[in-house]
């Protein structure tokens, strides 16, 4: 066999071995069942193996920090912009230059420095009990500080990142002084000391503990899919606040490529795959989250919650104002 023939055969085997070895290591703050089906489909479509590690976002960020340059993480997936900002500030992410991502994702839903990207929108509106609250009585989030709602509101604790980001969004839009005044009144209207997750707030409203709950819509959507929670879900309705001004508060689930990613190219391919229309549609149907990509059809469940105007806040500011939001909540006595 001639030398050039041997070289071609060697190159072919090397290429095949590299293709078989293609993989991406994902650290996911999302539960396995809420992300793995899409990752499996990605592997099927691309031949890239996905190694998935799930956990609480803060724990995964700490793990990446302790692993340093030796971290196997290629992609960090988080359930909130606040945690993505923490990872960025701690130097755990790197900029990504991808026209696919910048064309698909609106600028306010991704990091200005391109270190993280929103993959889904997560809305946090008002949920009310019909018969106890009339929709015409509701208007804005700010109005929930009015004494007329005393003893009627359920919301989870101030250590919850969703609430912290909601307060940070208020600071961005109405200023710290007005947000503090709002928080002071809002806390006085709690029906009970904050406890449990978003589903627990909805269940409390359904059980008559309160008339209004603040919760993310994907939790409500999930409750409709759960036989044990469906009755509670059916007991409340969604009201979209601030529709006459800035729009309802939204957050994101999103992801960023790890600073020391050993498989950077594969990580970017996975990110780009997640904003394909079929992936965005899967998120909407399976997880009840709103697409970040325009013109992707919502699921029937999301449609049933109604159309709404959303805030256009640059979400990177929510991470930047997280500490200030916590201070506001602490001063208000929000436990």
Could you report the per-residue pLDDT of 109-123, keeping only the tens digit for each?
999 999 999 999 999
Task: Please work out, in degrees rounded to the nearest 5, the angle formed at the alpha carbon of residue 57 by the alpha carbons of 37 and 121.
Answer: 60
Looking at residue 21, its pLDDT comes to 65
Residue 238: which of 80, 124, 122, 79 has the closest Cα? 124
Average pLDDT of the chain to the nearest whole number: 92
Residue 20 above 60 pLDDT? no
Q: Does residue 128 have a known ligand-binding role?
A: no
Looking at residue 31, its pLDDT comes to 83
- Give dist(CA 189, CA 209) in Å, integer: 13
CB 49 within 8 A of CB 38: no
Q: What is the pLDDT of residues 217-259, one digit of tens each?
A: 999 999 999 999 999 999 999 999 999 999 999 999 999 999 9
DSSP assigned state of 57: H
Residue 178 above 90 pLDDT? yes
Looking at residue 6, its pLDDT comes to 45
SS3 254: strand
CB 332 within 8 A of CB 184: yes
5 versus 293: which is more confidently predicted? 293
Dihedral through CA 5, CA 7, CA 8, CA 13, nearest 10? 130
Q: What is the pLDDT of residues 36-59, one digit of tens each?
A: 999 999 999 999 999 999 999 999
- Give dist(CA 268, CA 100) in Å, integer: 10
| pLDDT-derived band at 11, boundaries 50, 70, 90 | very low
Direct distance between the N- and C-terminal alpha carbons of the chain, in angstroms, rounded to an integer:
77
Q: At what angle do helices 322-332 and 161-174 cross, to 10 degrees?
A: 100
SS3 171: helix
Strand pairing report for 23-28 and 49-54 = parallel
Looking at residue 239, its pLDDT comes to 98
Looking at residue 256, its pLDDT comes to 97
Looking at residue 283, its pLDDT comes to 85
CB 138 within 8 A of CB 306: no
Q: Where are the alpha helices (DSSP H) in 125-207?
A: 161-174, 176-188, 198-206
Lowest mean pLDDT among 10-24, 211-225, 251-265: 10-24
Kindly state the tokens that stand for 210: 């309160």
Residue 10 above 50 pLDDT? no
Q: In this structure, is the dihedral angle defined by the CA atoms of residues 268, 270, 276 and 282, taken in order, positive or negative?
A: negative
Q: Does residue 27 have a known ligand-binding role?
A: no
CB 125 within 8 A of CB 308: yes
Residue 19, C-beta contacts closer than 8 angstroms, at least 6 positions apart: 47
Residue 248: which of 140, 136, 127 has the closest Cα? 140
Residue 67 above 90 pLDDT? yes
Looking at residue 1, its pLDDT comes to 52
Q: Strand order in 212-214's β-sheet?
A: 153-154, 212-214, 126-128, 237-239
DSSP assigned state of 296: P
Residue 2 above 70 pLDDT? no
Lowest mean pLDDT among 15-19, 97-101, 181-185: 15-19
Strand pairing report for 212-214 and 126-128 = antiparallel
- Give dist(CA 112, CA 95) in Å, integer: 10
Lowest mean pLDDT among 14-18, 20-24, 153-157, 197-201: 14-18
Percent of the chain at pLDDT exceeding 70 = 94
Looking at residue 15, its pLDDT comes to 42
Domains by residue range for the chain, with CATH? 3-121+252-296 (3.40.190.10), 123-249+315-332 (3.40.190.10)
């Amino acid at each position: 066999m001639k030398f050039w023939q041997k070289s071609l055969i060697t190159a072919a085997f090397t290429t095949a071995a590299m293709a078989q070895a293609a993989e991406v290591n994902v650290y996911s703050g999302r539960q396995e069942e809420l992300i793995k089906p899409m990752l499996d489909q990605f592997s099927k479509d691309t031949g890239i193996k996905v190694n998935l590690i799930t956990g609480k976002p803060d724990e995964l960020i700490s793990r990446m920090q302790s692993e340093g340059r030796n971290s196997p993480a290629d992609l960090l997936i988080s359930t909130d912009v606040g945690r993505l900002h923490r990872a960025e500030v701690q130097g755990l992410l790197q900029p990504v230059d991808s026209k696919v991502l910048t064309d698909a994702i609106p600028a306010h839903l991704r990091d200005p420095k391109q270190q993280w990207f929103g993959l889904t929108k997560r809305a946090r509106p008002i949920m009310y009990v019909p018969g106890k609250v009339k929709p015409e009585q509701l208007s804005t989030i700010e109005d929930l500080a009015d004494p007329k709602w005393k003893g009627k509101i359920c919301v989870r604790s101030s250590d919850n990142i969703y609430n912290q980001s909601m307060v940070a969004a208020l600071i961005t839009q109405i200023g710290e002084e007005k947000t503090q005044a709002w928080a002071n009144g809002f806390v006085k209207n709690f029906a009970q000391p904050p406890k449990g997750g978003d589903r627990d707030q909805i269940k409390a409203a359904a059980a008559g503990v309160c008339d209004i709950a603040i919760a993310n819509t994907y939790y409500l959507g999930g409750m409709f899919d759960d036989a044990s929670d469906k009755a509670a879900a059916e007991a409340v309705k969604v009201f979209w606040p601030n529709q006459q001004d800035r729009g309802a508060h939204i957050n994101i689930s999103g992801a960023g490529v790890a600073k020391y990613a050993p498989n950077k190219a594969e990580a970017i391919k996975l990110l780009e795959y997640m904003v394909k229309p079929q992936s965005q549609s899967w998120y909407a149907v399976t997880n009840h989250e709103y697409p970040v990509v325009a013109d992707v059809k919502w699921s029937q469940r999301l449609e049933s919650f109604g159309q709404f105007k959303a805030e256009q806040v640059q979400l990177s500011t929510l991470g930047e104002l997280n500490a200030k939001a916590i201070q506001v909540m602490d001063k208000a006595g929000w436990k």
